[in-house]
Amino acid sequence: MNYYEYGDDKIDVLDRVLSLISTREYDDALECIDNLNSKEFSDPLLLMSKAQCLLRLNEKEEAYGIYKQAIELCDEKLKVKKDPFVLNIKGNCNLILKDYIKAIECYDEALDIDDKNSLAISFKAVALFRLDEQDAAFDCLERLLEIDSNNNDIKLFKVQYLNTIEKYE
């Protein structure tokens, strides 16, 4: 993760929350988030993390509302500075909400700032797949491999994609 604008204390909280999410301890992650004061909680990454936990706990309506709040918070931050990190968060929230066009717009904006932003490229590929834009999604995978040719996760994703469209040899 890119935490360049966060202080050490905020990084510790984010790392703790993300660690709990990665081990599927969603209730504990929510408790950790709920224990923060309101100033700390006005962070789009924390809001997105909270929504992710709620979604995993099958509280979809509340989760979707929080994803929308995270998008609004991203928009506020983006008025001050076009930040690829915030654009990726906004794109990811739109992706979860199945607003693929808006997600792709966010990733494209992030890529205008940093054309080697592998997160933006990979999630843009996902959005393109969901829109059934197979060729454009494949181009994203190729671009990812140009940036990081040794990344086995990207190679595996490409193989899975090719298997899905039945073009893997």
Give the residue among 54, 88, 52 at the shortest CA–CA distance from 71: 88
Region 26-46 average pLDDT:
82
Which carries the bigger pLDDT value, residue 62 or residue 41?
A: 62
Residue 139 CB burial class (10 angstroms; 0-12, 13-18, ≥19): middle
Q: Show the DSSP H helices in the chain as ranges.
A: 8-22, 26-34, 38-41, 44-56, 60-80, 84-96, 100-113, 118-130, 134-147, 152-164
Determine the pLDDT at residue 43.
86
pLDDT above 90: residue 31: yes
Specify the pTM: 0.84
Determine the pLDDT at residue 1.
40
Lowest-confidence pick of 5-14, 93-102, 146-155 = 5-14
